[in-house]
Amino acid sequence: MKLYIKNMVCDRCKMAVESVLQKQGLHYQKVALGEVELLEEELSSVQYQEVKQALENLGFELLEDKRKMAVAQIKAAIVELAHYSKEPLKVNLSDYLSQKLSVDYPYLSTVFSTQEHNTIEHYYIQQKIEKAKELLTYGELTLSEIAFGLNYSSVAHLSAQFKKETGLTPSQYKQNLQRKTLDQI
């Protein structure tokens, strides 16, 4: 049985969900961003409500609507790609998402735009900019290394998108240091 969970954006989120499942006596095969694969075939209504409430207490949401599930899967795939992937994207984003989620991109795009009032591409850019903010905050990489690591064609391209999203240049940002948590994007 699969459960789809909104607001899972990091490894700590996965650990929190694993903890909830263990406390509920449930067994899982896999816990990934936005998704849990349980070994149980189904949950009783009491178990389901208990899991749902425990997750809500931690700021997560158990999704039941197919469109919301699709959006959660898209977001999880993009967060994973922008924040955790070490490999550059070798295909365009639409092909990547279609392959990863086994769903046609036009459907994904329509559902995402309708539910989020944002495009998938813009959401991806927002995630990359948040990753750039994180890396700028640490101060360990140059802007050129950050641009390369986030698959920008140039520092100028990263800087232009950064300014468009934040209203600040990367240098100005470093002086102010203001970041959002991933689930607020």
- The pLDDT value recorded for residue 87 is 81
Q: Counting beta carbons within 10 angstroms of the beta carbon of residue 164, is it exposed (0 to 12), middle (13 to 18) or buried (19 or more)?
A: exposed
Q: Give the Cα separation of 74 and 165 in Å (integer).
A: 21
- The pLDDT value recorded for residue 96 is 95
The mean pLDDT of 9-20, rounded to a whole number, is 94
pLDDT per residue over 96-138, tens digit each? 999 999 999 999 999 999 999 999 999 999 999 999 999 999 9
CA 46 to chain centre: 29
Local confidence band at 185 (pLDDT 50, 70, 90 cut-offs)? low
The mean pLDDT of 127-150, rounded to a whole number, is 93
pTM of full prediction above 0.85: no
pLDDT at 144 over 70: yes
CA 9 to chain centre: 5
Local confidence band at 9 (pLDDT 50, 70, 90 cut-offs)? confident
- The pLDDT value recorded for residue 30 is 94
